[in-house]
């Protein structure tokens, strides 16, 4: 055992509270978001209504003169393998005029235009909210079927909630807005998050012959390899795909996976450790 | 592991079988040439239909740009139906897309095109079906570019999603904007002193180009009403005659178009085929028809051996003449509510087409309710081209990145290589299955990359469980079983989280790809990997 492991096994009780504190702060941030924007994360154009023009750029323009020339629209620049300019406008704006104005300012390239009417955005938003709640319920049902005992199940759910809520708080800080793609990634995160928790819980509750630190160690070895392999795939998606949608989705998953490391190995393992120790003590005394 | 072992193992065989099936389903075409026709204008002289491929135009390799150019001579087309010569004056009148390099269906956000979500003001199931039927008919009638329609329901509110691959907003507006106003007219030829009898007699006076009906002057091209029937007058000064064209019924009068074999038939007759079908019109329409035909004379046509009325019934769609039909003389003065419409063509194929076309026109008509475009996406096709390439690179880099991580951990090529082969096969099988029913859009690609991640994760669990050496009493079978408990559990939660997204139509591709990916993992690729692991460890 090296120094870090010794530290971890000696101080697992206070370490548990690191992610709990992160969760608490994030809950406050998310409540604040809800009060300010009316939703837990500021909504993107798909969910509020409007026009989105996506232009693939050959070279990066200076946004300041663009913004002062076209004050009614919003500009966002997405950089990467492919640089993309996102132009957000009111649903009644004339997209052809915006495009020709931009051309006159030297900004042109292949583009796409998406229009989201207010009616459908409202429907999307409703659907999104239903989807999140339904996804959580279904996930909880599966977890309960798997472990059937309240403490491990609650610990797994707590880890999933921590992942999602802290990720949302970080996304808000990074000014990533809630779009349908971001929503999909947040729900995908549930899957990634629960993966490692199930590995941990299975190892801790179903193995009997090793001592608890060894069980945690074995689970951690598997779990961290999993997390880093997934991070590898997602980093490729972030840097190479050249699509702002894929970039957004990978951002969500990368942040979520990073948060999943402490959520699983500090908090979830702490709760389980406490519970398994108590249970095994009871069994030996009987 | 011996090759013969593979054939004895059904889990490995199932996996190999699905790989082969997927390759066949994707049917990669390494060297796609030519352009495929996706739509054809009404006036186009090109003797090809949707789905045909043009390889060369005047000896040059066919491109989308070449098909949209103006030509003023005989154009030589190398096609899948042989060499065709087309006499063109202007454009070829076709819309095309590049021949696809495989059978994979890519979403509009990758391939480019226009997608709209329209909201009918009244959205019962029947109305939505009807609107889709009408729009489909319009495409066939007007030769618009092929579009796909899908009803989308959010709670009780129904929407229709329209996708036009490679299409533009203009084409969508064309599709929705056609009014579909249908009119059936019969002209009555009149001259001075004639009486037209409708609800009552009308005296016609026509001298030196001045038309008076019951002493009221009617100018050339003027529209007026006699009794309940709307008319338009066309005065011919040279012969002192006039055509009073009556509108006998419109779209609003047609209640039903019959398609059943009793009331919609084609029969062989001498020299060709006679087609026939019945429609049901309103009482008012039937009454107008009776009043007008009462004023027509019978003539015998020796060619057909039947007698007809002197005027024909002319059918107009959006003020454009689409057909003229003889009226059998027996119908004179009859207020028939289920009149037959008949025609003749020399070939069976032409008869079917004519019949179908008219039935469509009569049935199509205007949309039953007003519609509102609530969402509209226009994606430049060029945007997609480079994009697909980037995505392929991203998948490749993702697999490389994953290999680096697992190499650091396991260091043994005999573990790493099967992991990657399985991961790649998973992508292949998902893509193969996608050709059976769903389109690969941008979010599906994200799901595909995410699935590479969860797939590798599951393999890591399997390997780690198999490699554990401490428990002497645990058999390999039990170790793999425990790994499967974790894999199925994790897969179950992913499916649980994805199911609700199936109802958000823009995310359906993401949800389906993920769910199918997880299922293939649980039932095919992970068991196969489990077998490989058993042999390896």
- Interchain contact, B500 vs A130, CB within 8 Å: yes
**Quick one: how far is CA B488 from the chain centroid?**
39
Same-domain check for residues A74 and A179: no
Please tell me the distance from the alpha carbon of residue B393 to that of residue B388, in angstroms, as a whole number.
9
Please tell me which residue of chain A has the smallest CA distance to B384.
Answer: A110
Overall average pLDDT of the B482-492 stretch: 91
* Percent of residues, chain B, with pLDDT higher than 70: 93
- Interchain contact, A225 vs B449, CB within 8 Å: no
Please tell me which residue of chain A has the smallest CA distance to B385.
Answer: A110
Q: What is the dihedral of CA B27, B28, B30, B36, to 10 degrees?
A: 70
- In this structure, the strands spanning A111-116 and A74-78 are unpaired
**Which of B489, B491, B513 should we substitute to test contact with A (largest number of A Cβ atoms within 10 Å)?**
B489
Backbone angles phi, psi at B451, to 5 degrees: -70, -35
- Give residue-wise pLDDT tens across range A34-88: 999 888 999 988 888 899 998 888 788 888 888 888 888 888 887 766 788 889 9
Same-domain check for residues A85 and A192: no
The domain ranges of chain B are 3-28+382-536, 35-98, 113-179+369-378, 253-315+323-358
User: Which has the higher per-residue pLDDT, B451 or B537?
Assistant: B451
pLDDT in the model for residue B495: 93
**SS3 state of residue A128:** helix
- Interchain contact, A181 vs B398, CB within 8 Å: no
Residues 6+ apart with CB under 8 A from A245: A179, A181, B442, B443, B446
Q: Domain residues for A105? A: 50-116
> What CATH number should be reported for the domain holding residue A93?
3.30.70
Same-domain check for residues A79 and A197: no
By residue count, chain A amounts to: 286
Same-domain check for residues A112 and A214: no
- The answer for B 368-397 residues in CB contact with A (under 8 A) is 372-380, 382-383, 386-387, 390-391, 393-395, 397
Q: What is the DSSP letter of B69?
A: S
Counting Cβ atoms within 10 Å, is residue A153 exposed (0-12), middle (13-18) or buried (19+)? middle
Residue A181 has pLDDT above 60, yes or no: yes
Sign of the dihedral defined by the CA atoms of residues A237, A239, A244, A247, in that order: positive
Residue A275 contacts residue B420 (beta carbons within 8 Å): no
Instruction: Please give, rounded to a whole number of angstroms, the shortest distance from the CA of A171 to a CA of chain B.
Output: 18
Same-domain check for residues A26 and A131: yes
> In this complex, how many residue pairs, one in chain A and one in chain B, have their CB atoms less than 8 Å apart?
241
By residue count, chain B amounts to: 537
**Cβ-Cβ contacts under 8 Å, B406 against chain A:** 225, 229
Same-domain check for residues A272 and A227: yes
Please tell me which residue of chain A has the smallest CA distance to B393.
Answer: A240
Q: Which of B393, B461, B503 sits opposite A199 (nearest CB)?
A: B461
What's the mean pLDDT when you consider all of chain A? 88
- Other Cβ atoms within 10 Å of B246 Cβ, number: 24
Please tell me the distance from the alpha carbon of residue B227 to that of residue B212, in angstroms, as a whole number.
16
Please tell me the distance from the alpha carbon of residue A33 to that of residue A41, in angstroms, as a whole number.
6
Same-domain check for residues A90 and A128: no
For chain A, state the CA radius of gyration.
23
- Give residue-wise pLDDT tens across range A193-212: 888 999 999 988 887 767 88
Please tell me the distance from the alpha carbon of residue A110 to that of residue A92, in angstroms, as a whole number.
22
- Interchain contact, B373 vs A146, CB within 8 Å: no
- Interchain contact, A181 vs B446, CB within 8 Å: yes
Overall average pLDDT of the B354-369 stretch: 72
pLDDT in the model for residue B106: 83
**Which of A53, A157, A182, A241 should we substitute to test contact with B (largest number of B Cβ atoms within 10 Å)?**
A241
Domain end position, chosen among A71, A89, A116: A116
Using 50, 70 and 90 to split pLDDT, how confident is the model at A228?
Answer: very high
Please tell me the distance from the alpha carbon of residue A67 to that of residue B351, in angstroms, as a whole number.
62
**Quick one: how far is CA B262 from the chain centroid?**
29
Q: Which of B453, B468, B503 sits opposite A230 (nearest CB)?
A: B453
Interchain CB contact of B114 with A (< 8 Å): no
Lowest mean pLDDT across B93-97, B410-414, B489-493: B93-97
- Interchain contact, B387 vs A181, CB within 8 Å: no
Taking Cα atoms as reference points, which of B36, B123, B139 lies closest to residue B372?
B123
- Give residue-wise pLDDT tens across range B205-227: 888 778 888 888 888 888 888 88
pLDDT in the model for residue B518: 94
What separation in angstroms does the CA of A42 have from each of A74, A185, A251, B271, B460?
15, 16, 16, 72, 37
Identify how many contiguous H helices and E strands chain B contains and give both numbers: 14, 26
- In this structure, the strands spanning B157-165 and B148-154 are antiparallel
- Interchain contact, A226 vs B461, CB within 8 Å: yes
Lowest mean pLDDT across A158-167, A174-183, B12-21, B357-366: B357-366
Same-domain check for residues A143 and A270: yes
Overall average pLDDT of the B484-500 stretch: 92
Sign of the dihedral defined by the CA atoms of residues B162, B163, B164, B169, in that order: positive
% helix / strand / coil in chain A, to the nearest 5? 70, 10, 20
Using 50, 70 and 90 to split pLDDT, how confident is the model at B42?
Answer: low
Whose structure tokens read 């352009």?
Answer: B35
> What CATH number should be reported for the domain holding residue A139?
1.20.1640.10
pLDDT in the model for residue B382: 66
Same-domain check for residues A260 and A125: yes
Please tell me the distance from the alpha carbon of residue B196 to that of residue B213, in angstroms, as a whole number.
9
Residue B1 has pLDDT above 60, yes or no: no
Using 50, 70 and 90 to split pLDDT, how confident is the model at A134?
Answer: very high
Please tell me the distance from the alpha carbon of residue A148 to that of residue A150, in angstroms, as a whole number.
7
**Cβ-Cβ contacts under 8 Å, A56 against chain B:** 383, 386
Lowest mean pLDDT across A129-133, B94-98, B189-193, B409-413: B94-98
pLDDT in the model for residue B333: 86
- The answer to whether the B3-28+382-536 and B113-179+369-378 domains have the same CATH topology is no
Residue A146 has pLDDT above 80, yes or no: yes
- Interchain contact, A236 vs B453, CB within 8 Å: no
Same-domain check for residues A183 and A229: yes
Lowest mean pLDDT across A49-53, A65-69, B283-287, B349-353: B349-353
Please tell me the distance from the alpha carbon of residue A232 to that of residue B398, in angstroms, as a whole number.
6
Using 50, 70 and 90 to split pLDDT, how confident is the model at B442?
Answer: confident
- Interchain contact, B464 vs A195, CB within 8 Å: no
Overall average pLDDT of the B24-43 stretch: 79
- Give residue-wise pLDDT tens across range B302-341: 877 788 888 888 988 777 787 788 888 888 888 888 888 8
Architecture of the domain delimited by B3-28+382-536: Up-down Bundle (1.20)
Give the best-scoring range by mean pLDDT among A12-26, B46-60, B245-259.
A12-26
Angle made by CA atoms B323, B325, B327, in degrees to the nearest 5: 160
What is the third-level CATH fold of B35-98?
A: Pdz3 Domain (2.30.42)
Interchain CB contact of B161 with A (< 8 Å): no
**Cβ-Cβ contacts under 8 Å, B452 against chain A:** 233
* Percent of residues, chain A, with pLDDT higher than 70: 98
For chain B, state the CA radius of gyration.
33
Counting Cβ atoms within 10 Å, is residue A36 exposed (0-12), middle (13-18) or buried (19+)? exposed
Instruction: Please give, rounded to a whole number of angstroms, the shortest distance from the CA of A95 to a CA of chain B.
Output: 11
- Give residue-wise pLDDT tens across range B407-428: 999 888 888 999 889 999 999 9
- In this structure, the strands spanning B241-250 and B182-191 are antiparallel
Interchain CB contact of B152 with A (< 8 Å): no
- Return the axis-axis angle of helices A118-147 and A150-173, rounded to nearest 10°: 150
Give the best-scoring range by mean pLDDT among A254-263, B75-84, B251-260, B268-277.
A254-263
Same-domain check for residues A256 and A194: yes
- The answer for B 3-62 residues in CB contact with A (under 8 A) is none
Tokens of B293: 């035909």
Domain over B113-179+369-378 is classified CATH 3.30.70.3400: yes
Residue A110 contacts residue B379 (beta carbons within 8 Å): no
- Give residue-wise pLDDT tens across range A166-179: 999 999 999 889 99
Give the best-scoring range by mean pLDDT among A79-83, B56-60, B404-408, B434-438.
B404-408
Domain end position, chosen among A98, A116, A134: A116
Using 50, 70 and 90 to split pLDDT, how confident is the model at B141?
Answer: low
Q: Which of A82, A145, A184 sits opposite B507 (nearest CB)?
A: A184
Using 50, 70 and 90 to split pLDDT, how confident is the model at B347?
Answer: confident
**Cβ-Cβ contacts under 8 Å, B445 against chain A:** 241, 246
Q: Which of B394, B490, B507 sits opposite A198 (nearest CB)?
A: B490
- Other Cβ atoms within 10 Å of B356 Cβ, number: 16
**Cβ-Cβ contacts under 8 Å, B494 against chain A:** 188, 190-191, 194
Which H/E stretch holds residue B94? strand B94-98
Largest CA distance in chain A: 84
Angle made by CA atoms B452, B380, B449, in degrees to the nearest 5: 5
pLDDT in the model for residue A201: 92
Same-domain check for residues A106 and A143: no
């Amino acid at each position: 055992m090296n120094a870090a492991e010794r530290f971890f096994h000696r101080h697992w009780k206070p370490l548990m509270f690191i992610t709990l504190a992160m969760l608490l702060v994030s809950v406050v941030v998310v409540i604040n978001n809800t009060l300010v924007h009316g939703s837990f994360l500021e909504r993107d154009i798909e969910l509020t209504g409007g026009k989105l023009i996506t232009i693939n750029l050959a070279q990066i323009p200076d946004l300041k003169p663009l913004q002062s020339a076209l004050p009614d629209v919003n500009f966002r620049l997405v950089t990467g393998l492919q640089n993309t300019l996102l132009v957000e406008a009111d649903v009644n704006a004339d997209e052809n005029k915006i495009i020709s104005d931009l051309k006159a300012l030297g900004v042109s390239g292949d583009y796409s235009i998406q229009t989201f009417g207010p009616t459908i955005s409202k429907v999307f938003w409703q659907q999104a909210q239903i989807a999140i709640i339904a996804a959580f319920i279904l996930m909880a049902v599966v977890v309960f079927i798997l472990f059937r005992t309240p403490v491990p199940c609650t610990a797994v759910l707590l880890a999933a909630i921590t992942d999602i809520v802290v990720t949302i708080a970080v996304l808000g800080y990074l000014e990533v807005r809630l779009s349908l793609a971001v929503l999909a990634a947040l729900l995908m995160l549930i899957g990634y998050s629960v993966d490692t928790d199930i590995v941990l819980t299975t190892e801790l509750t179903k193995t009997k012959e090793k001592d608890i630190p060894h069980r945690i160690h074995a689970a951690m070895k598997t779990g961290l390899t999993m997390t880093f392999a997934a991070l590898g795939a997602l980093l490729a998606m972030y840097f190479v795909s050249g699509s702002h949608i894929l970039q957004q989705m990978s951002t969500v998953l990368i942040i979520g996976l990073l948060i999943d490391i402490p959520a699983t190995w500090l908090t979830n393992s702490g709760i389980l450790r406490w519970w398994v120790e108590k249970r095994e003590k009871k069994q030996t005394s009987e | 592991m011996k090759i013969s072992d593979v054939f004895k193992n059904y889990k490995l065989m199932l996996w190999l079988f699905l790989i082969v099936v997927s390759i066949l389903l994707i049917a990669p075409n390494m060297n796609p040439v030519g352009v495929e026709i996706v739509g054809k204008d009404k006036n186009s002289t090109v003797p090809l239909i949707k789905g045909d491929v043009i390889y060369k135009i005047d000896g040059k390799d066919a491109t989308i740009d070449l098909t949209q150019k103006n030509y003023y001579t005989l154009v030589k087309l190398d096609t899948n139906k042989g060499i065709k010569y087309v006499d063109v004056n202007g454009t070829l009148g076709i819309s095309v897309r590049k021949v696809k390099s495989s059978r994979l269906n890519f979403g509009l956000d990758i391939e480019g095109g226009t997608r709209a979500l329209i909201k009918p003001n009244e959205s019962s199931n029947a109305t939505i079906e009807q609107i889709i039927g009408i729009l489909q008919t319009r495409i066939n009638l007007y030769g618009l570019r092929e579009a796909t329609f899908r009803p989308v329901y959010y709670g009780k509110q129904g929407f229709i999603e329209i996708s036009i691959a490679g299409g533009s907003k203009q084409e969508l507006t064309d599709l929705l904007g056609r009014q579909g106003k249908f009119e059936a007219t019969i002209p009555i030829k009149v001259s001075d002193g004639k009486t037209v009898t409708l609800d009552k007699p009308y005296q016609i006076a026509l001298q030196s180009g001045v038309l008076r009906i019951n002493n009221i002057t009617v100018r050339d091209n003027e529209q007026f009403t006699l009794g309940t029937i709307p008319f338009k007058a066309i005065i011919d000064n040279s012969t002192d005659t006039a055509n009073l064209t009556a509108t006998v019924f419109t779209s609003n009068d047609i209640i039903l178009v019959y398609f059943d074999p009793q009331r919609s038939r084609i029969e062989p007759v001498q020299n060709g085929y006679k087609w026939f079908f019945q429609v049901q019109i309103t009482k008012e329409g039937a009454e107008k028809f009776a009043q007008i035909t009462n004023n027509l004379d019978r003539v015998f046509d020796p060619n057909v051996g039947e007698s007809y009325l002197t005027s024909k019934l002319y059918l107009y769609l959006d003020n454009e003449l689409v057909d003229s039909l003889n009226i059998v003389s027996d119908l004179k003065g009859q207020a028939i509510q289920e009149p037959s419409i008949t025609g003749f063509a020399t070939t069976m194929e032409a008869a079917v087409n004519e019949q179908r076309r008219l039935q469509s026109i009569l049935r199509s008509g205007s949309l039953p309710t007003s519609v509102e475009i609530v969402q509209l996406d226009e994606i430049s096709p060029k945007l997609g081209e480079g994009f697909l390439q980037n995505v392929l690179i991203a998948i490749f880099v993702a697999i490389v990145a994953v290999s680096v991580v697992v190499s650091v951990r396991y260091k043994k090529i005999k573990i790493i290589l099967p992991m990657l082969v399985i991961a790649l096969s998973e992508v292949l099988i998902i893509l193969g299955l996608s050709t059976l029913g769903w389109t690969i859009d941008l979010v599906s690609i994200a799901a595909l990359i995410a699935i590479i991640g969860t797939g590798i994760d599951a393999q890591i669990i399997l390997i780690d469980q198999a490699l554990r050496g401490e428990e002497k009493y645990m058999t390999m079978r039990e170790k793999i079983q425990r790994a499967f408990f974790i894999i199925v559990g994790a897969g179950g939660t992913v499916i649980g989280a994805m199911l609700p997204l199936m109802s958000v139509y823009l995310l359906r591709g993401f949800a389906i790809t993920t769910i199918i990916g997880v299922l293939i993992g649980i039932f095919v690729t992970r068991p196969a990997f489990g077998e490989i692991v058993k042999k390896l460890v």
